Amino acid sequence: MIEVLINGVRPAAAAHALDAADRGLHYGDGLFETMLLSKGRVPLLSDHLQRLAHGCVRLALPGPDLRVLEQEIQRICGAARDGVVKLVLTRGAAGRGYAPAPTASLTRMIALYPPVAASSFEVTVRWCGIRLGRNPHLAGIKHLNRLEQVLAQAEPAAAGADEGLLLDSAGEVVSAVSSNLFLVRDGALCTSDLQQCGVKGVMRGRVLRIATAAGIVVREGALCPQDVERADEVFLTNAVRGLRPVVALEARRWKVGPVTLQLHGELQRQLD
């Protein structure tokens, strides 16, 4: 972490920044956004702030002032050209117990991190053994309860793959551990509708809009593992790492396909 603002204030030390009573720590009671800073700007900023505002509605958090957040993001980026900005929004400090204090005010933390290490465009994936619990009340939003992902990320790493693919407890395909998953089959673009679990990534949203505008058939719905294995093309999306083609899923191999390259090209054009 290069620098951090807590409720707009630079703490004397990042190691002593947060309230011990914060509900973000005690219950994961909040949301986060992880944003790419590229060439001095956050190209997907408005998508991130929109998703955050939607998450607040879903968790019955009072909506934050998005203009203040935007100003603080600008402030923490300062003259930096490249990096990652993380925003954490919690239900604030409160007494013990699940019930929120009616008087608590949100905690907002905005931190600047160094750029991610360069990695290959093409990625390899494998199935994770751990499955995601299904809960439509939490599905789609980027909340702070991420133990499933913490446990799951160890599996592909141990097996030498770049990312793990996750099923939910009913055996449906959700996403990769920290990316959304897209398939191309017979020219149509398919991805989970994430009604039961998973995060609706901002890059996922951008790719869906690009595909629709390009006249590609888009299907959001339930996917099974066989759908992935039989797909003509597979790729991942992530707000920081962009769109990356999947070239291997265990024994299955793919070449980078034309729809993947078309969407990647248009994405680069929009975000550059």
* Backbone φ, ψ for residue 239 (5° rounding): -60, -30
Structure tokens at 227: 């759908």
If binding is defined by CB under 8 A, does position 105 make contact with a second copy? Answer: no
Query: 111-130: which residues touch a second copy (CB under 8 A)?
Result: 111, 113, 130
- Could you say which of 49, 56, 93, 125 contacts a second copy (CB under 8 A)? 93
Report which of 249, 245, 265 is spatially closest to residue 257, judged by C-alpha positions: 245
Please, what is the minimum distance in Å from the beta carbon of residue 49 to a second copy?
19
Structure tokens at 152: 């799951």
Beta bridge partners of 243: 237
Please, what is the minimum distance in Å from the beta carbon of residue 189 to a second copy?
27
If binding is defined by CB under 8 A, does position 213 make contact with a second copy? Answer: no
Report the residue number, 141 or 211, with the smaller CB distance to a second copy: 141
φ/ψ region of 113 (left if φ > 0, alpha if ψ in -120 to 50, else beta) reads beta
Residue at token pair 């990320």: 153
> Site mask, a second copy, residues 11-50, x = CB under 8 A?
xx-xxxxxxxxxxxxxxxx--x-x----------------
- 252-253/3-6 β-pairing: unpaired
Please, what is the minimum distance in Å from the beta carbon of residue 176 to a second copy?
11
Report which of 91, 112, 89 is spatially closest to residue 102, judged by C-alpha positions: 91
Residue at token pair 């400090």: 93
Return d(Cα 242, Cα 61) in angstroms, integer.
Answer: 29
**Cα 148 to Cα 73, 85, 130, 179, distances in angstroms:** 28, 23, 8, 14
What is the Cβ-side half-sphere exposure of residue 260, based on CA atoms within 13 angstroms?
24
If binding is defined by CB under 8 A, does position 99 make contact with a second copy? Answer: yes
- Could you say which of 54, 66, 80, 100 contacts a second copy (CB under 8 A)? 100
- Could you say which of 67, 79, 102, 137 contacts a second copy (CB under 8 A)? 137
Could you tell me which stretch among 62-70, 153-161, 203-211, 212-220 binds a second copy (CB under 8 A)? 153-161
Residue type present at position 151: L
Report the residue number, 170 or 217, with the smaller CB distance to a second copy: 170
- Could you say which of 48, 108, 126, 143 contacts a second copy (CB under 8 A)? 143
Return d(Cα 201, Cα 95) in angstroms, integer.
Answer: 33
Please, what is the minimum distance in Å from the beta carbon of residue 151 to a second copy?
6
> Site mask, a second copy, residues 61-90, x = CB under 8 A?
-----------------------x-x-x-x
If binding is defined by CB under 8 A, does position 148 make contact with a second copy? Answer: yes
C-alpha torsion 241→220→141→224, nearest 10: -80
Please, what is the minimum distance in Å from the beta carbon of residue 142 to a second copy?
12
Q: Which residues bind a second copy (CB under 8 A)?
A: 1, 4, 6, 11-12, 14-29, 32, 34, 59-60, 84, 86, 88, 90-91, 93, 95-100, 109, 111, 113, 130-135, 137-138, 143-154, 157, 169, 177-178, 196-197
